[in-house]
Amino acid sequence: MSGSVAGFLQAGLLVLALAVCHRPLGDYIARVVTGDRDWRAEKAIYRMMGVDPRADQRWSVYLRSMLAFSAISVLAVYLFERIQGHLFLSNGMPGVTPDLAWNTAASFTTNTNWQNYSGETTMGYLTQMSGLAVQNFASAAVGIAIAIALVRGFARSRTDRLGNFWVDLTRITVRVLLPLSVIGALILVAGGAVDNFTATHVIHTLTGSSQNMVGGPVASQEVIKEMGNNGGGFYNANSAHPFENPNPFTNWFEIFLILVIPFSLCRTFGRMVGDNRQGYAILSVMVTIWVASAALVSFFENSHAGTALRAAGAAMEGKNVAFGIPGSSLFAASTTVTSTGAVNSFHDSYTPFGGAVLIFNMMMGEVTPGGVGAGLYGILMLAVITVFVGGLMVGRTPEYIGKKIRPAEMKYAALYVLATPALVLIFSGLALAFRVPRESILNPGPHGLTEIMYAYTSMANNNGSAFAGLATNTTWYNVTGGIVMLLSRFAPMIFVLALGGSLAKQQTVPVSVGTMPTHKPLFVGMVIGVILLIVGLTYFPALALGPFAEGLH
């Protein structure tokens, strides 16, 4: 089977599977977050936390609850790492150094899962399960909860309440993420992924050398790593490792896990605001850019420019031959348009323009479809900006889903859009300005700049993938990386919840002849244009000095 046929077949089956799941999963999540009844297990959790599940919170209280939970999560993961040498199931691993423990704790709490370590040689099994895997659930649930709170701002009228963070967090974890993870883990185990407590043992190869082989609870962490758009691998090779991703079927299934919840949340949005057409419009924006991204990456990796690439038939360096260009390109595009960060190939080995597409995907804010929850609230913020721009063009007060977009709402949306790029560009500039971080550049020139830009773009957009050509396990990158990940995760959430609270206080405005239709192809095209313009105007100078200069060299 040729590469192009294999690529079309994989993509076609993926679209079909996502389409089948879109409506039932989206409707189910809507029922979970809007229902009045609690399960017994949930009631027990509320009693343990001292939470009143009927207490509706203002946006500021919702925010404080989320920040408090996340702060405790950072401290808990940090503690697990530092004392893991004294815990059972440590697998002989000593405690993690302070700067690396800080970076990793910030990384997993923010759903970034940036890894400056090799999992099989740094983290014990208990740390992996009770520290890192728990945050794979919790950080994903936090992202969905914030998105749901914003949607309530559109759906509610004349109130200052956006729901209860603790109820949203608990229900999403217990009713959505846990059941789907059990099913997904069983499928991965059936496909060949390992899941055990086998200790490290030494294997002697035919050439006379030796290699350490580590088992572990891999499949159970792999499923939430992908489905929760986390990306942190049990092994250093991540989803290129045969224990995590054994064959082309598991590779396809992991891509499905990455995309199924973010796409389905569009249906949840439509159901909650009482107009499914609004959900389909947002879905159309996401699908259009995702398909274009996957196609472009595949095209550039199949381009045979250069002697080595012509001899190999494609840019196969750094790619698992079992997946080839189709499986690698689809995986890379899907992880970078979401906040997943998992890799089944090394992005540092991609062609200059193929790598540029992956960076551009993250620079768009990972909203197409974006991370679980984060993608939905991110694209809704951009939709607010689009409505405002459209209102300016026709001279009418902008409205979106029955709510007026006034100066206060635009300030929150503008701050949201500016926060992440500012962190990326400032810290990338600092890394180039000082001698110590410059010493981590292994490939001087345009590619070195690309590696630094990719690293901070990945961290600031809560992605976690890396070019793998930059030595980032240093005090500089561990400390600054942790700061960037925390600020870029929680600062935008402040603006999202503030916008939701502002919208919820408004009286719903009935549709009139002056209302811009936000469920038609024209609006879909406008949102796509706004996304591309914001990214282009913000990052183009840096891209021109990095991947574009390298590709045109």
Cα–Cα distance measured from residue 166 to residue 39, given in angstroms and rounded to the nearest whole number:
14
User: Which pLDDT score, from 0 to 100, does residue 304 have?
Assistant: 62
User: Which pLDDT score, from 0 to 100, does residue 465 have?
Assistant: 84
Q: For residue range 440-485, what is the model confidence (pLDDT) as tens digits?
A: 888 778 888 888 988 999 999 988 888 767 888 999 999 999 999 9
Take residue 494 and report the two structure tokens written for it. Answer: 């402040």
Cα–Cα distance measured from residue 53 to residue 62, given in angstroms and rounded to the nearest whole number:
13
Model pTM? 0.93
Q: For residue range 229-249, what is the model confidence (pLDDT) as tens digits?
A: 998 888 888 899 999 999 999
347 class by beta-carbon count within 10 Å (0-12 exposed, 13-18 middle, 19+ buried):
buried
User: Which pLDDT score, from 0 to 100, does residue 312 have?
Assistant: 56
- Outline where 303-445 has alpha helix (H): 307-312, 324-337, 352-363, 374-394, 407-433, 435-438
Take residue 322 and report the two structure tokens written for it. Answer: 């079992």
518 class by beta-carbon count within 10 Å (0-12 exposed, 13-18 middle, 19+ buried):
buried
Cα–Cα distance measured from residue 408 to residue 222, given in angstroms and rounded to the nearest whole number:
42
CA 28, distance to chain mean position in Å, is 22
- Tell the residue number behind the tokens 């993250």, with chain if given: 362
Cα–Cα distance measured from residue 462 to residue 488, given in angstroms and rounded to the nearest whole number:
8
Cα–Cα distance measured from residue 153 to residue 498, given in angstroms and rounded to the nearest whole number:
10
Mean pLDDT, 10 residues at a time, the chain of 553 residues: 74 96 98 94 94 94 97 96 88 90 96 88 87 94 97 95 96 97 96 85 78 82 93 88 93 96 97 96 96 93 66 69 89 92 86 87 89 95 94 81 93 95 93 90 82 91 82 93 96 97 93 84 94 86 76 66
CA proximity to 112, closest of 489, 421, 475 = 489
Torsion sign, CA atoms 499, 167, 367, 468: positive
Could you give the 3-state DSSP secondary structure of residue 374? helix
User: Which pLDDT score, from 0 to 100, does residue 552 have?
Assistant: 66
Are 325 and 314 within 8 A, CB to CB? yes
CA proximity to 116, closest of 100, 130, 138 = 100
User: Which pLDDT score, from 0 to 100, does residue 332 have?
Assistant: 93
> Tell me, what DSSP letter sits at residue 238?
G
Take residue 19 and report the two structure tokens written for it. Answer: 């389409």
User: Which pLDDT score, from 0 to 100, does residue 308 have?
Assistant: 55
Cα–Cα distance measured from residue 301 to residue 226, given in angstroms and rounded to the nearest whole number:
24
Residue type, 460: A
User: Which pLDDT score, from 0 to 100, does residue 2 have?
Assistant: 54
User: Which pLDDT score, from 0 to 100, does residue 232 have?
Assistant: 86
- Outline where 134-177 has alpha helix (H): 134-155, 165-171
**Residue partners of 156: CB distance under 8 A and separation at least 6:** 162, 504
Please compute Rg for the chain using Cα positions.
23
Torsion sign, CA atoms 62, 65, 71, 73: negative
Take residue 184 and report the two structure tokens written for it. Answer: 């997904």
**Residue partners of 315: CB distance under 8 A and separation at least 6:** 300, 301, 302, 303, 309, 325, 349, 350, 351, 354
> In degrees to the nearest 10, what's the CA dihedral of 47, 53, 57, 59?
90
User: Which pLDDT score, from 0 to 100, does residue 305 have?
Assistant: 61
Take residue 121 and report the two structure tokens written for it. Answer: 């040689």
User: Which pLDDT score, from 0 to 100, does residue 56 have?
Assistant: 94
